[in-house]
Every structure is written in structure tokens, then in C-alpha cells.
Structure 1
Amino acid sequence: MFFTPQKTNEMKKMGQCAAVAALFACASMSAFAQTADIDCTKPHQAVDRMICNNAALRALDARANAYYTILLEAKPAADTKAYHDFRDSLQTDEQKWQHDTRHACGAQAACLTDAYQHRIEALRGSALAYLGLTVTAAPAQSQPSEPSIDYKNAIYRVDGKDITLLEGQHTQPAADDSSAQDVTHIIEPPPHVAGKLGGRNAVAVFLSEQSGGSGTFYYVALAFNDGRGTTFKIGDRIQPISIAINGDDLVVGYLDRNADEPMAVPPTVPRERHFAYMNGQILERPPAASAAK
């Protein structure tokens, strides 16, 4: 089989784009990679210690570094002066972001999470613009379907703070220089359920949070397509039984204790509570409204 120069050039461009697409896949799969520019065996600064001790932040750092490497090393489909100018300024831009944005967060996990997410989106946008991926449409039959809600890798608002789950769990030191751990993770069973609440597609699931003490607090949580979620505290050391979305009604069932029973007594009292999602929050329905549903 013979190829014309034009066909050969087209194939080279397709090959370059395929290689870059593969690198994009690697970027999304590199969540557990070690951070590239932080020595976690000797984390000197507070920001380094926070990232090294937080699996979710390590994953965000690895993904940002993957996109940065793509832009630094991949060959674009169109090798233009604009791309060379951009790549020449890339290292300076990266150093400026690390100093002005990441390091400014210090040991604040929520600040670092937000900083990394914005950085990843900026790097991804640059890769799409300069590596020519936006003009390489796949055949219609291979276009991906609308992604399902990744409730195990989302940011949940828990007691006024953002908690980033990675594969269903978040762990961080309970305090500086403490061996105790704060652990937040998804509880299944009962299995998660999908539906629509407040006009939004959502996944409902139980979360638990243990802060190194004797208590283990349980929450009903909703995750949405934008990768964010919200929660409502159910109780301490309960036993989740069921979770369901019926129309616009979120129904939670669990075992609890009577008011006069100590926490050492296993929960045996069945409870059922009904919730709605309104104005970005999970709100409990009054008993009369629940009965009318």
C-alpha cells in the first residue's frame, strides 16, 4: 500500500493527537502517583507536609504535574510560534503559580484543593488549545456517553468545610504533629441510589466521619455532576439501613437508640427521616409534610 505525502502528513498528525490523547488518559489515571516536585521523605514546608499527608491532595498534585508534563514534552499537531512562545513561558508560569498560589495556602486543605482544581483546568485548557485536540473529533459511534456521577471522587461540604474524597475516603492528621487521623469515607451498604432532587441529577449515599475520639458521625450526602456534594448530619454511632429517592423525597432509614440509652448500647430503634434538596442544601421535611408525600 502506498501513501501520498498529504496522507502521510495527515497520519502523522493523527498519530500525534492519539499520543496526546493517550497522555490525557494517563493524566486522569495518575491519581496515586507520587508528587513530582515535593520530596515527601523530607517535607520541609507546611504546604508540603499537608500535601504529603493527604491522599486527595497528592492525587491532585500528580494530575496537575501530568498535564504540565504533557504541555512541556508533547509535540503539538500544529508546531506554531504561538505554541513555542507559550511553552517557553510555561516553567516561569508554573513557578509563579507554586509561589503565589499554592505556597500561599500553607496547610489549608480547602485552599489547596481549590488552587489545584483551578490549576488543572487552566493546564487542561492550554493543552486543548495548543495541542490541537479540539479538531480531532472521534467517529460518532465512539463518542463517550454522558459521564455518570463519580460520587466516590467528589468534594463534599461537611460541617462547614470541604472534604475531598478519593476512591471514597479522605484521611488527614487530626492535628499538627498528631498520630491520630480524621477519616471520612462512604458507607456501603446500603448501596448508593441515583435520582433527581431539586431539579438536579444526584447520587445519594451515607458518609461517616471519625475524628480519633469515640464518636463516629453519620451523614446523608448528595453528589452532583459538577463533582461537588452536600451533607446532612444524621447522628452519632447509628446503623445505616436504607436510602432512597422517591420523586423529590430523599428517605433515610437507620437504627438509633432511645434518648435515655447510653452510647455503649447497640442501636436497635428504627428511624425514618425525609429530606428535600433546596437552595443548595439538604433540608429535613417536617413530619406532617413527610406523611403527606
Structure 2
Amino acid sequence: MLEFLLLLEALMPAVRLVFVSAWLIGGSLTASAQVASFDCAKAATSTEVAICREPSLGAKDIKMAAYYQILVSVEPASSGMAYREFRDNQRDLQANWVTQARNACEGDVACLELAYDRRIAELTSTIAKSLGLTYGRMCDGG
């Protein structure tokens, strides 16, 4: 029980960040809210235009961006080169996803829906693994 409480205490900053992000992603969006993670007034490609025009894609774009920010922002229990390498790798994976998966859809809504669903699943899986490894070490004394 003590280990669980210590783990819960260690996770609180990350949990707060997740809840705030979920609140921002969830029902708090209004008509004047941002409809994508980028400025739709500057949408230059058919992919960006499709994301801005299709509400479900805009919501997925915001959700994906929030999960990505959580992943690269959560500080590990003990930082070091391995964490910087992890964060840099995540940035590379995100940039590759944008060019090779998202932009490859060229505005095809069904393709974009699938690309976002897959990326969100990858990010949430990585977050779950990373939070467990990062904050679990505090309970293990590592």
C-alpha cells in the first residue's frame, strides 16, 4: 500500500497535466476555440485545410498534440542523457509521422482519420509505458 501511495504522489504532476489536457480537449471547446493544433488561417496544404474543415480531424489533431506535449514534457524521476535521447527520438518520430503519414494523405479525410487514430494510439501507449518506467522507479528505489 505504501508503494502505491508513493507512486501516486510521484505521478501527481503528470496526472494533473493529463487532466488539464483532457479538460482542454474535452467539452471546453467553444465556437471561438482553436479547431486544430496549428493556426488554420495559415493552412497551406490540402492536408491542413482538411484538418481545419473537418471537426473530427481538428479534435484529433488537438488531442494528438496534447498527448505529444505530455510525452515530451513529463520529467523523469531521474533525468540524464537517456531521457534527452528519448525526447529527441519522440520529436523525430513526430516529425516523421507528420511528413510520412499525415501529409501523405493529401487531404483525404478517411486516410487522415486513420493516421490520427494510429498516432494517438502510439502516443498513449508510449505515455503509459514511460510514466510507469519513469515514476515506478521512485517506488523501487531506483
Same fold (TM over 0.5): yes
Could you say which structure has the higher strand fraction? 1
Determine which of 8, 12, 22 is the counterpart of 1:18.
12
- TM (normalized to structure 1)? 0.38
Unaligned runs of 5+ in 2: 137-142
Change (3 A) 1:133 1:63: farther
Unaligned runs of 5+ in 1: 1-6, 137-293
Aligned to 2:73: 73
- TM (normalized to structure 2)? 0.75
Q: Distance in 2 between matches of 1:101 and 1:109?
A: 13
Greater alpha carbon shift after TM alignment, 23-32 vs 51-60: 23-32
What's the secondary structure of 2:41's corresponding residue? coil
Q: Distance in 2 between matches of 1:16 and 1:74?
A: 11
Deviation at 1:39, TM superposition (A): 2.0
| Deviation >6 Å, runs of 4+ | 133-136
What's the secondary structure of 2:86's corresponding residue? helix
Determine which of 21, 32, 39 is the counterpart of 1:27.
21
Aligned to 1:51: 51
- Bigger radius of gyration among the two: 1
Q: Distance in 2 between matches of 1:68 and 1:126?
A: 10
Q: Which amino acid aligns with 1:50?
A: A
Q: Which amino acid aligns with 1:18?
A: M
Q: Distance in 1 between matches of 2:52 and 2:109?
A: 11
Q: Distance in 2 between matches of 1:85 and 1:134?
A: 14
Aligned to 2:119: 119
Deviation at 1:89, TM superposition (A): 1.3
The percent identity for this pair of structures is 31
Q: Which amino acid aligns with 1:124?
A: T
What's the secondary structure of 1:58's corresponding residue? helix
Deviation at 1:57, TM superposition (A): 0.7
Deviation at 1:55, TM superposition (A): 1.1
Change (3 A) 1:92 1:73: same
Deviation at 1:128, TM superposition (A): 1.1
Q: Which amino acid aligns with 1:97?
A: W
Aligned to 1:105: 105
Question: RMSD of the TM alignment (CA)?
Answer: 2.7
Q: Distance in 2 between matches of 1:101 and 1:75?
A: 28
Q: Which amino acid aligns with 1:93?
A: L
Q: Which amino acid aligns with 1:109?
A: V
Q: Distance in 2 between matches of 1:67 and 1:104?
A: 22
Q: Distance in 2 between matches of 1:116 and 1:130?
A: 21
Which structure has more relative contact order (CA 8 Å, sep 6+)? It is: 2
Deviation at 1:81, TM superposition (A): 5.1
Change (3 A) 1:67 1:114: same
